[in-house]
Amino acid sequence: MRACVDFSAKEEARLELALAERVIEKEARSEIVAEGTQPEHIFVVKEGWACQYRTLHDGRRQVTAILLPGDLCCSHMFVLKEADVSVSTLTPLVVSALSRQALSTLVSEIPDFSDALWWQALMAASIQREWTVSVGRRDSTERMAHLLCELFVRLRMVGLADADAIPMPMTQMDMADALGITNVHINRTLQSMRAKNLIRFDRRRWELLDLAALKRIAMFEDNYLHVRPGCNLDIEPSDPCVAVRSG
């Protein structure tokens, strides 16, 4: 599922079995996890997008992560006592729920599973760091460009992006809350980017007209997301993104 550790066929099957155990479907724009509660399960996103966010007393909201297919949701909740973030769907969502029990069973049955969990957690932390850098030190255009590059690479890794376009279910309001900008200013930023022929959109499909320029503007680093050398994002996504275990 996540291209980080190469499981054997048997392990893969075991994993699939566990993930098939309890599959849940949620409609678009519904809350999965509420801040302050102690969720029973962690979730693995199978289809659709979700976002993780914190809301301040006065209503200000900051999205802290976008969850795409293959991502884990709230892996921290079994160690920390309660959720410090909320999670809501952006699109209709299909997730596998894993109980604490199921998780520890997997850890004991699949030798490399623990490594996979670590990889995923550290990856998420790395993305989180870069988001801090974005909101702290990039201006609105740079932030937007960085978000688009990140989403492009991540979607590409799981075969959900064309060579030059991505689906975009987020509203401008969602983006505003993700980038720490107001929705009005997001709109203006997007317009200026469209005027420069960097992007174009038709409904919920966004074309990245000049990916190289976007990366340059965003100061997007290719070693970000620790993309495997064997994982060539330029080729068609149908081509399997071969996982090579480091070390």
Partner DNA sequence: CGTCCCCTTGAATGAAGTCAATACGCGTGG
Partner DNA sequence: CCACGCGTATTGACTTCATTCAAGGGGACG
Interface residue list for DNA (CB under 7 A):
29, 139-141, 171-173, 180-185, 187-191, 203
The Cα–Cα gap between 36 and 90 comes to: 21
Cβ proximity to a second copy, 14 vs 76, nearer residue: 76
Rank residues 163 and 173 by Cβ distance to DNA and give the closer one: 173
- Helices and strands per DSSP (H, E), number in the chain: 7, 11
Nearer to a second copy, 77 or 165 (CB): 77
124 interacts with a second copy by CB under 8 A: yes
**55 has which bridge partners?**
61
| Shortest distance, position 150 Cβ to DNA, whole Å | 18
If one asks whether residue 43 binds a second copy (CB under 8 A), the answer comes out as no
Contacts 24+ apart (CB under 8 A), 45-48: 45/69, 45/70, 45/71, 45/72, 45/73, 45/93, 45/94, 45/95, 46/19, 46/94, 46/95, 46/96, 47/92, 47/93, 47/94, 48/89, 48/90, 48/91, 48/92, 48/93, 48/94
81 near a second copy, rule: CB under 8 A: yes
80 binds, among a second copy, DNA, none (CB under 5 to 8 A by kind): a second copy
96 binds, options a second copy, DNA, none, Cβ within 5 to 8 A by partner type: none
Q: How far is the CB of 146 from DNA (least distance, A)?
A: 13
Q: For residue 111, which of 230, 246, 14, 231 has the smallest C-alpha distance?
A: 14
What minimum distance in Å lies between the beta carbon of 28 and DNA?
A: 9
1 versus 170: smaller Cβ distance to DNA: 170
List, in order, residues 6 or more apart from 23 with CB less than 8 Å away: 46, 94, 95, 96, 97
Q: For residue 38, what are its two tokens?
A: 């102690």
**Judged by CB under 8 A, does residue 22 bind a second copy?**
no
What residues make contact with a second copy under the rule CB under 8 A?
A: 36, 54, 56-58, 60-62, 64-65, 75-76, 78-82, 84-85, 114-115, 118-119, 121-126, 128-133, 135-138, 179-180, 219, 221, 223-224, 226, 246-247
